[in-house]
Amino acid sequence: MYVSSQAPEGPPVSVSSLRKMREESTPIACLTAYDASFAARVDAAGTDVVLVGDSLGMVVQGLSSTVPVTVEDIIYHCRATARGLQRALLMADMPFASYAMPEQAIRNGARLMQEGGAQMVKLEGGLLQAELVHFMTSRGIPVCGHIGLQPQFIHRLGGYRVQGRERDAAEAMLDDARALCEAGVDLLLLECVPAELAKRITGEVSVPVIGIGAGPDVDGQILVLYDVLGITPGRKPRFAKDFLAETGNIPDALSAYVAAVRDKTYPAPEHCF
Ligand code: KIV
């Protein structure tokens, strides 16, 4: 293990502790990480869930989308990240087309858990994935359903835009959320969703909901680590906030992010749609 000397407080985070946090209205703080050194810092700051996201294709590998990321890439970064964690729950992204068929999804999900050390996997899609989610969760693979903006669909979407603004799209997203919950997801992630719609979804479902660009009325927030440190090149998404700029060092920036999620000062209105 490659852990921080500053041990994070409390027992390891589990699926049931995330559920308890929702019940007790304690906001869940989540961040991405891709290696042991950052994972140890993120963990020491009190982050509850660490995601080895396929965003690594863009922020680590310099690709223009998440589509080329492979299961091997995620396993490599997951193993490294796992070595840095003591408390946070480790979630791993299932890359593009790695869960197109049920047997393939089980095989790849199991690899992320057995070889990568992940405790939960995340996959994109709503209603259409419900059967697959049931197949995976009933075989012991905890799943986070990712709806709203789904970056793996970029070549069909044609751009990274807010989803669910029109009434039909909003109703469809509610149906997606309900179907994923009925299928057994343990966590729901909403990306780039109008704050009012995210609030409605969070009120209707029975599992913890985390948001990125989904406003304050969800059960927790997630950001890409490099956005929190202000080092992602190019145009900054509206929901991103550079905590390093106001704190001046990495441990304080990460603690400031976790504190801002807990006391709901992040996201502020300027980060919402
Ligand atoms: O891959 C990733 O980092 C993600 C976040 C945007 C939530 O899915």
Find the CATH number of the domain harbouring 214. 3.20.20.60
Given a contact cutoff of 8 angstroms between Cβ atoms, the answer to whether 162 and 134 are in contact is no
Q: Is residue 233 part of a domain?
A: yes
Q: What is the rounded distance in angstroms from the CA atom of residue 38 to the CA atom of residue 251? A: 10
H or E segment and range at residue 179? helix 167-183
Per the prediction, the chain carries an average pLDDT of 97
Number of independent structural domains in the chain: 1
Smallest CA separation from ligand 1 atom 2, residue: 53
Residue 234 structural domain: 15-271
Residue 233 pLDDT: 87
| Spacing, Cα 182 to ligand 1 middle (Å) | 23
Residue 260 pLDDT: 98
Q: Is residue 4 part of a domain?
A: no
Q: Is residue 94 part of a domain?
A: yes
Residue 4 pLDDT: 63
The residue type at 180: L
Q: Is residue 9 part of a domain?
A: no
Residue 202 pLDDT: 98
Q: Is residue 93 part of a domain?
A: yes
Q: Is residue 3 part of a domain?
A: no
H or E segment and range at residue 246? helix 243-247
Residue 195 pLDDT: 98
Smallest CA separation from ligand 1 atom 4, residue: 53
Given a contact cutoff of 8 angstroms between Cβ atoms, the answer to whether 63 and 51 are in contact is no
Q: Give the residues of the chain that fall short of pLDDT 50.
A: none
Q: Is residue 87 part of a domain?
A: yes
Q: Quote the Cα angle for 86-214-239, to 5°.
A: 80
Residue 6 pLDDT: 72
| Spacing, Cα 84 to ligand 1 middle (Å) | 19
* pTM of the predicted model as reported, rounded to 2 decimal places: 0.97
SS3 call for 225: helix
Q: Is residue 2 part of a domain?
A: no
The residue type at 5: S
Given a contact cutoff of 8 angstroms between Cβ atoms, the answer to whether 241 and 31 are in contact is no
Q: Which atom of ligand 1 is nearest to the CA of 55?
A: 1
Residues annotated as catalytic (active site), given as ranges: 191
